């Protein structure tokens, strides 16, 4: 494998890819953020996906200078593909990065996209930009491949090296080269998709499938709540059957599961088909923040607690446990709904960056030790920081150690709940 590799986008996805390649080859790591590059040059990954030792072992030339990509003949693009306020795909980062790559593309180079897109986006959106900016012809002067990312933030077991990699290419020869390059660092091996569109579709349905399964669990939790049945106990009982799938209810945020289905539905609607099951699942999952907040209000009314002027503490703001990633966190839906009822909400999160929380959501994070005693707690994100403290922490967080605890992900031990606490969980 004698390709000179360049990596465009050094976020949650791009950096682990860059580090894996950098431990085996000399590569160029490009990002438009000077802050990101400066912290990486100092050996720090503020996403916590890569440790200092791994970073140190990787031979990566970190840069914000796009012209450095001209030294590369195998360029991997790993930039975010979010949705806008109308839940439509926002391809701006993908388009901008394609412009940057196109302006620095050399003859014979291969560009591989890892960003999650709808089937057809690589060939319909990215290739024309690469051709326009480079003046070169795709399939003749340069080639394109697609290899969907499968990074799971915070997961130290399923990593870039240990997850089998789907690869695809414009031609059989390009596919073989793309496969060879990834095989040089992915221990789990590769799977050769028959076309770029097949690889794109495979990625987008992986998360759509998870989204739908979680939506089913969320809908069941709403039903069981009305029937006064504990959802977790039901799932544990049903889970004794060998083929029962182990999904559980919760808030579905982040930059994958809560986003990717909209890419598929957008493309489906462009063909004249209106997806029903996928969008139904999205509606259920997008409504869970409001359900949790209104459930808390009902519990408070049952306890004869005043609503307006009451204080509720929210533990955790990131989209999942033990990561600092705030993108598309659905905890904010709980917060805003409670505030509409006139509740004073204080939010704390030991992993999130306060500046980012303020900029992204207008939320001022409070240091855990500085929390004022609250009438109720929404245990939104089960960070290890909170789990290690167990039930004892509510002596500090709740007024006189009494009140309501909303355990969103059923992370606390129900069997040892103190008598003074009313427990609610999805």
Question: What pLDDT was estimated at residue 50?
Answer: 86
What mean pLDDT do residues 325-348 have?
96
- Cβ atoms 253, 287 nearer than 8 A: no
Work out the pLDDT band at 161, boundaries 50, 70, 90: confident
3-state helix/strand/coil string of 61-98: EEECCHHHHHHCCEEEECCCCCECCCCCECCHHHHHHH
pLDDT for 47: 83
> CA–CA separation, 399 vs 279, rounded Å?
41
- pLDDT for 139 beyond 90: yes
pLDDT band for 1, please (50, 70, 90 cuts).
low
The pLDDT of 111-135, averaged and rounded, is 97
Active-site residue among 111, 256, 264, 293? 256
pLDDT for 254: 84
Mean pLDDT of 88-100: 96
Contact (Cβ atoms closer than 8 angstroms) between residue 222 and residue 294: no
pLDDT digits (tens, 9 = 90+) for 192-201: 999 999 999 9
Q: 165-169 and 143-146: which strand pairing?
A: antiparallel
150 falls in which pLDDT band (50, 70, 90)? confident
> What distance in Å separates the CA atoms of residue 296 and residue 50, rounded to the nearest whole number?
38
Residue 381, classified by CB atoms within 10 Å of its CB into exposed (0-12), middle (13-18) or buried (19+), is: buried
pTM over 0.95: no
Instruction: Report pLDDT for 151.
Output: 78
Predicted local distance difference test score (pLDDT) of residue 75:
98
**Residue 341: pLDDT band by 50, 70, 90 thresholds?**
very high
- 10 Å Cβ neighbour count for 143? 21
CA dihedral sign of residues 43, 46, 51, 54: negative
pLDDT in tens, 165-194: 999 999 999 999 999 999 999 999 999 999
Q: Contact, 418 vs 392, CB < 8 A?
A: no
Active site residue 126: no
Cβ neighbourhood burial of 248 (10 Å; 0-12, 13-18, 19+): middle
Q: Is the pLDDT of residue 408 over 90?
A: yes
Q: What is the mean pLDDT of residues 133-149?
A: 97
- Distance of alpha carbon 175 from alpha carbon 278, whole angstroms: 31
Backbone angles phi, psi at 305, to 5 degrees: -85, 140
Report the alpha-carbon distance of residue 97 to residue 11 in Å, rounded.
14
CA distance 373 to 206: 42
Q: Name the strands in the sheet holding 27-30, side by side, starting at the edge strand that comes first in the sequence.
A: 60-63, 27-30, 5-8, 74-77, 110-113, 143-146, 165-169, 190-192
Distance CA 414, CA 411 (A): 9
Q: What is the structure's pLDDT at 345?
A: 97
Average pLDDT over residues 259-268: 95
CA distance 237 to 381: 25
Mean pLDDT computed over 106-127: 97
The mean pLDDT of 206-230, rounded to a whole number, is 96
Report all structural domains of the chain as residue ranges with CATH numbers, in order of start.
5-194 (3.40.50.720), 287-425 (3.40.50.720)
């Amino acid at each position: 494998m004698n390709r000179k590799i360049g990596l465009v986008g050094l976020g949650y996805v791009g950096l682990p890819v860059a580090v894996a390649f950098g431990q085996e080859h000399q590569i160029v790591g490009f990002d438009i953020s000077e802050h990101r590059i400066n912290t990486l040059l100092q050996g720090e990954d503020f996403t916590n996906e890569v440790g200092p030792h791994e970073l140190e072992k990787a031979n990566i030339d970190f840069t914000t200078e796009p012209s450095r990509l001209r030294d590369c003949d195998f360029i991997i693009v790993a930039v975010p593909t979010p949705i806008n306020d109308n839940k439509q795909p926002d391809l701006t980062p993908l388009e901008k990065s394609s412009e940057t790559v196109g302006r620095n593309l050399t003859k014979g180079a291969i560009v591989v996209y890892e960003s999650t897109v709808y089937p057809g986006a690589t060939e319909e959106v990215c290739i024309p930009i690469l051709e326009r900016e480079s003046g070169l012809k795709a399939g003749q002067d340069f080639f394109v491949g697609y290899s969907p990312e499968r990074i799971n933030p915070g997961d130290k077991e399923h990593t870039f090296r240990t997850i089998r990699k789907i690869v695809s290419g414009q031609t059989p020869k390009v596919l073989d080269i793309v496969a060879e390059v990834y095989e040089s660092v992915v221990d789990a091996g590769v799977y050769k998709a028959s076309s770029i569109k097949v690889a794109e579709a495979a990625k987008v349905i992986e998360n759509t499938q998870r989204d739908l399964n979680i939506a089913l669990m969320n809908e069941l939790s709403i039903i069981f709540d009305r029937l006064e049945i504990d959802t977790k106990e039901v799932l544990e009982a049903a889970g004794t059957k060998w083929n029962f799938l182990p999904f559980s209810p919760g808030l579905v945020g982040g930059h994958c599961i809560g986003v990717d289905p909209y890419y598929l539905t957008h493309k489906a609607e462009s063909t004249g088909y209106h997806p029903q099951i996928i969008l139904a699942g999205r509606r259920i999952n997008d409504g869970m923040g409001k359900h949790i907040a209104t459930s808390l209000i009902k519990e408070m009314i049952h306890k004869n607690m005043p609503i307006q002027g009451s204080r509720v503490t929210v533990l955790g703001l990131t989209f999942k446990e033990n990561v600092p990633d705030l993108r598309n966190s659905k905890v904010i839906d709980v917060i805003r709904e409670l505030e509409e009822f006139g509740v004073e909400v204080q939010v704390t999160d030991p992993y999130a960056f306060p500046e980012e929380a303020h900029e992204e959501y207008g939320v001022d994070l409070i240091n855990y030790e500085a929390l004022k005693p609250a009438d109720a707690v929404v245990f939104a994100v089960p960070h290890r920081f909170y789990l290690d403290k167990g039930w004892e922490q509510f002596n500090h967080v709740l007024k006189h150690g009494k009140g309501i605890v909303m355990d969103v992900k059923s992370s606390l031990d129900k069997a040892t709940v103190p008598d003074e606490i009313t427990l609610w969980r999805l």
